[in-house]
Amino acid sequence: MAGHRNLVLSPVGDESLHPTWLSAPDERQFDLGLIYFGSQGDRYRDEAEYYLRQRGFKFHLLDALMTQLGPRLAEYDYIWCPDDDLASNTADVNRMFAIAREFRLAISQPAVAEGEVSHVTVRQQPGLLLRYSQFVEVMCPVFSRTALARVRSTLVANKSAWGVDWAWTRLIPAEELAIIDAVGVHHTRPLQSGKGYDRMREQGVNPLEDLVQMAAQYGVSPRRRRQIKKGRLRVRAVTLDGATTWVGPRWWQLWQAAS
């Protein structure tokens, strides 16, 4: 039976790494919902409180399971939606939720400690608890219940999900978006690989076109995207010992050191 205030929802295939999130099942402080798109029957049904067998695109699958949950979705304070190629552990997932709750973050994500990234800004930074990054990527967002309701329509705005995260930057205040550096995940697959990208190619979906369209719709300029993607913005952060500081691009770090 479900009984936690945190929920993990993820579309998973036959090579899913979600078992790493369950490394200490008796200690987990979250419920689990899986949308299985693999080919081995109900392979993971017994591992999850909520389960759906369906194929499709990530956020469309997530939306389908959210719809199936109905009013039960509102029982959760925070909902994490990671890709199935992310390795982590139960303690880190618990800590991620605890930090999101403590700092009342609307949309956040664990930093990427290992593996390829599309945006330098999501790479884990040592010594920090979190950064108010002004951006959270679609790879593994954590939504508060209120924020999810605010952005849910964007989840199915296109098939690729490219550009959806730029919409969030306009729908959620910048001071409520953060990268949680105290928790790092391992992105184990190369970028733009996996079953989802195979389906895009089969269906003629152009993710770059989706990104440009979504950014234009929500008024996010190419310059703004470059600044955030490459970590060129100076942003407020919290250190591991709880102090507030500012972090930014390399030139800013060098200037601080010389001051």
Within a domain: residue 248? Answer: yes
How far is the C-alpha of 223 from the C-alpha of 229, rounded, in Å?
10
Contacts of 196 (CB under 8 A, 6+ apart): 57, 58
Give the tens place of pLDDT for each residue, 153-188.
999 999 999 999 999 999 999 999 999 999 999 999
Neighbours of 142 (CB within 10 A): 29
AA identity, residue 10: S
Within a domain: residue 223? Answer: yes
Q: Name the helix (H) or strand (E) containing 135.
A: none
CB 8 within 8 Å of CB 80: yes
How far is the C-alpha of 195 from the C-alpha of 178, rounded, in Å?
28
The domain that holds 90 is classified in CATH as 3.90.550
Give the tens place of pLDDT for each residue, 193-244.
777 777 888 888 899 999 999 999 999 999 999 998 888 899 999 999 999 9
How far is the C-alpha of 29 from the C-alpha of 108, rounded, in Å?
18
Q: How many domains does the chain have?
A: 1
pTM of structure: 0.93
Q: Name the helix (H) or strand (E) containing 76.
A: none
Q: Name the helix (H) or strand (E) containing 41.
A: none
Give the tens place of pLDDT for each residue, 56-70.
999 999 999 999 999
Q: What are residue 99's phi and psi, to 5 degrees?
A: -70, -45
Within a domain: residue 40? Answer: yes
Range of the domain at 220: 6-258
Within a domain: residue 188? Answer: yes
- In three-state secondary structure terms, 206 is coil
Q: What Å distances lie between residue 124 and 2, 72, 75, CA to CA?
A: 32, 33, 31
Within a domain: residue 106? Answer: yes
Within a domain: residue 1? Answer: no
Within a domain: residue 231? Answer: yes
DSSP strands (E only) in the chain: 6-12, 31-36, 50-53, 78-80, 86-87, 107-114, 128-131, 142-144, 177-187, 235-239, 244-247
